């Protein structure tokens, strides 16, 4: 719906209309809707055209200043995200070592001389999941088994959460027994290979998964959290080189069966995981503070607009310019 001012400064109209909460008019139905009559009957503050220009000039300057600050903070957030990702890659590739050799892994240029490059399947039991048939309603009664589906990806999408403890859905013991789903032990690493492909986590308790996931239950030579951070470090490679499909990316099981990672000693794996956690904690704390600053500036911007267009203060005095 377009609103074309017949009189006044169009900039003032834009600012004024941005303060109106149309959700109050739209109601609470499944498809909220605001009709033309409701918009036409709105009553708003409407100062003289000269005052509209003063308010619009003031808001142009002030909102531009706030927008510049927000954009600067966003650039800092982008750099922090890049630094976090680069730090993880550096850690799992042994960046602290001095003696390196060329890597045969597509996502790494080099690894320490003393490290191996090993197929994950040789160090962890690979598994998958399934969905019990919905045509058997008795299999969906008394559901107590945590069941990871693509709905859980949002919990691990920002790579902050390592252990997944809660799932939106559960399946029953009967459904588990009558399907190809299997109960994986706590500490099993999971990777989504369909719709939200590439995102991973560690099971915080015994869990099953849908067929959208591949799992690895690590043996004595592989720390599950080291595997987790390797998977997160190689995500762009997984999606760019192995994922197929234009609309919904899918990573196929045969490719994941051949997946290889760099492998240091078990003690060093634990040290690397600790180093990643410390680095990420520092960056995440700073990121949260900056995001809060952005939220406050955005709130300040909207409050300033609302106060100016409703005449709560003299914009000429506020800008130090009386005309």
* Residue 116 binned pLDDT confidence (cut-offs 50, 70, 90): very high
The mean pLDDT of the chain is 90
Cα pseudo-dihedral 300, 305, 311, 313, rounded to 10: 40
Do you know the residue count of the chain?
A: 323
Farthest CA pair distance, the chain: 80
Determine the pLDDT at residue 1: 47
Question: Angle at CA 182, nearest 5°, toward 178 and 185?
Answer: 145
Report CA-CA distances (Å) from 250 to 119, 159, 177: 20, 20, 27
Selected residue with higher pLDDT from 319 and 125:
125
* Residue 322 binned pLDDT confidence (cut-offs 50, 70, 90): very low
Residue with tokens 């560690």: 202
Residue 31 has pLDDT above 70, yes or no: no
* Residue 323 binned pLDDT confidence (cut-offs 50, 70, 90): very low
Residue 181 · residue 131 · CB < 8 Å: yes
CB atoms within 10 A of CB 177: 11
pTM summary value: 0.86
Token pair belonging to 125: 């039991």
Residue 170 · residue 145 · CB < 8 Å: yes
* Residue 147 binned pLDDT confidence (cut-offs 50, 70, 90): very high
Residue 193 has pLDDT above 70, yes or no: yes
Burial 37-67 (b: 16+ CB within 10 A, else e): eeeeeeeeeebeeebbbbbbbbbeebbeeee
Q: How far apart are CA 191 and CA 232, in angstroms?
A: 10
Residue 56 · residue 12 · CB < 8 Å: yes
Residue 158 · residue 283 · CB < 8 Å: no
Mean of pLDDT values over 303-312: 91
Selected residue with higher pLDDT from 257 and 318:
257
Report the first-to-last Cα separation within the chain, whole angstroms: 35
Residues 6+ apart with CB under 8 A from 116: 262, 263
pLDDT digits (tens, 9 = 90+) for 148-165: 999 999 999 999 999 999
């Amino acid at each position: 719906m377009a609103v074309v001012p017949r009189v006044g400064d169009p900039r003032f109209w834009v600012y004024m209309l941005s303060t109106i909460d149309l959700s109050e008019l739209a109601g609470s139905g499944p498809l909220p809707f605001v009709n033309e009559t409701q918009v036409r009957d709105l009553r708003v503050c409407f100062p003289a055209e000269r005052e509209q220009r003063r308010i619009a000039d003031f808001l142009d300057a002030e909102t531009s200043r706030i927008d510049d600050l927000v954009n600067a903070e966003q650039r800092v957030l982008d750099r922090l995200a890049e630094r976090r990702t680069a730090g993880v890659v550096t850690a799992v590739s042994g960046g602290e070592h001095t003696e390196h050799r060329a890597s045969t892994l597509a996502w790494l240029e080099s690894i320490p001389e003393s490290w191996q490059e090993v197929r994950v399947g040789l160090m962890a039991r690979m598994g998958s999941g399934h969905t019990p048939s919905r045509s058997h309603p008795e299999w969906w009664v008394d559901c107590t088994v945590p069941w990871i589906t693509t709905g859980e990806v949002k919990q691990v999408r920002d790579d902050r959460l390592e252990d997944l403890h809660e799932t939106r859905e559960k399946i029953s013991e009967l459904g588990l027994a009558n399907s190809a789903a299997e109960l994986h032990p706590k500490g099993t690493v999971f990777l989504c290979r369909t719709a939200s492909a590439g995102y991973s986590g560690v099971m915080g308790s015994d869990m099953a998964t849908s067929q959208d996931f591949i799992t690895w239950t690590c043996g004595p030579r592989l720390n599950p959290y080291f595997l987790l951070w390797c998977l997160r470090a190689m995500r762009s490679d997984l999606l760019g080189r192995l994922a197929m499909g234009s609309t919904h990316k899918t990573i196929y099981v045969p490719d994941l069966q051949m997946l290889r990672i760099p492998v240091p000693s078990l003690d060093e794996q634990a040290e690397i995981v600790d180093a990643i956690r410390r680095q990420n904690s520092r960056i995440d704390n700073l990121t949260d503070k900056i995001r809060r600053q952005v939220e406050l500036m955005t709130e300040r911007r909207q409050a300033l607009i609302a106060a100016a267009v409703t005449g709560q203060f003299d914009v000429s005095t506020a800008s130090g310019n009386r005309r």
